[in-house]
Amino acid sequence: MEYRKLGGTDLEVSAIGLGTEHLVQTRENMQEVLRIGVDAGINYIDVLYSSPEANAVFWDSIGPELVRYRDKLILTGHWGPSDMYPDPAECQHCLDLALERINNGYFEAVMLTVVDSEKTWNGWAQESLERLRSYKEQGRIGHIGLSGHVAPIATKAAQSGLIDVLMFPINLLGHDDEEVKALCQACVEQDVGLVAMKVYNGGTLLSVKGEPSGITPVQCLHYALSQPVATVVPGARNADEMRATLRYLEATDAERAYSDIPANIHELLAGQCTYCQHCLPCPQEIEMGWIIWHLDQVQSRGTELIKEWYAGFPVKASACVECGECLERCPFDVDIIAKMQEAVALFESV
């Protein structure tokens, strides 16, 4: 395993880390995944669910394993996200409970989670930063980080001098994105440790309509690790996916090579929604990419849960008038109208 310095911190993190969002939440699965990862040298684990009250099954499953390997791990906890926990006092309560579940009551870093707007950065994030600084002064956390998906906001955070670590999507889809390049440069200049999430873009880089796209996990990982990042945190669901990720360590230079992909990525992913949002704006104000993401989540999370999430959409797929503007904009030739019809049938039927 290769280890890299996490920005200006004193931490040396494994180039391959582990994101926990998608782990199957059973003790047996957590035990196997962490054993495989730790044996391979993984030391950086992003513990997304920081509320033991709201995510009791997760903590009951993973908590004992984090304790078992605690002296070998660098753990990142989360504060928020702001849309679920708009009151920073509630975030503080959740963090306190999470700290109790890891035997030394300490996170090496804590991330402000999903800071994607000026309003969130200027309001919720600033109050939260003040509270997290007190945790740092008390020696309960080592560093303060932030996660986000909007490059200009993340760049502003990196340039602010207020965070030590930034978690952001870094993958092949952003190979020509000037805002992402500016973000990476800001992290280098400010010595902010960059953690690459969504290296497979939620799996959309790997398959099209259930068939392999021709892009491999090894190529995705190598692209991300070729950028100025400290670690990548692919979200394995189980032991098989953890082993598939770790195959990167034995991959040849030829297997890692990705230079031909950027020029052919639209052809490779034709028909696959990547949630890039180039289809917007919709005249009916439908968030098509977000709706399609929910469709894609049904297989792993179940229809009823996704229906519950979908119910919160201000404008639903049934508002589509099939004008075709989104089809003209989509760089991947996705049949967006058909996707809207599928969403109506699945989520809006009685």
DSSP letter for 123, please: I
Q: Are 113 and 80 spatial neighbours (Cβ–Cβ below 8 Å)?
A: yes
Per-residue pLDDT of 52-61, as tens digits, reads 888 899 999 9
pLDDT, position 232: 98
Per-residue pLDDT of 267-310, as tens digits, reads 999 999 999 889 999 999 999 999 999 998 887 778 888 888 89
Name the band, by pLDDT with cuts 50, 70 and 90, for residue 51: confident
Mean pLDDT over 35-42 rounds to 97
Residues of the chain with CATH 3.20.20.100: 3-261
Mean pLDDT of the chain: 94
Mean pLDDT over 169-195 rounds to 96
Which residues, other chains included, contact 151 with Cβ-Cβ below 8 Å and sequence gap of 6+? Answer: 168, 177, 179, 180, 182, 183
Per-residue pLDDT of 61-115, as tens digits, reads 999 999 999 999 999 999 998 888 899 999 999 999 999 988 779 999 999 999 9
pLDDT, position 141: 97
pTM of structure: 0.91
Per-residue pLDDT of 100-137, as tens digits, reads 988 779 999 999 999 999 999 999 999 999 999 999 99
Spacing of C-alpha 287 from chain mean position: 20
What is d(CA 183, CA 153) in angstroms, rounded to the nearest whole number? 9
pLDDT, position 20: 93
Per-residue pLDDT of 235-262, as tens digits, reads 899 999 999 999 999 999 999 999 999 9
- CATH 3.20.20.100: does it fit domain 3-261? yes
What is d(CA 216, CA 134) in angstroms, rounded to the nearest whole number? 43
Token pair, residue 317, equals 């797929």
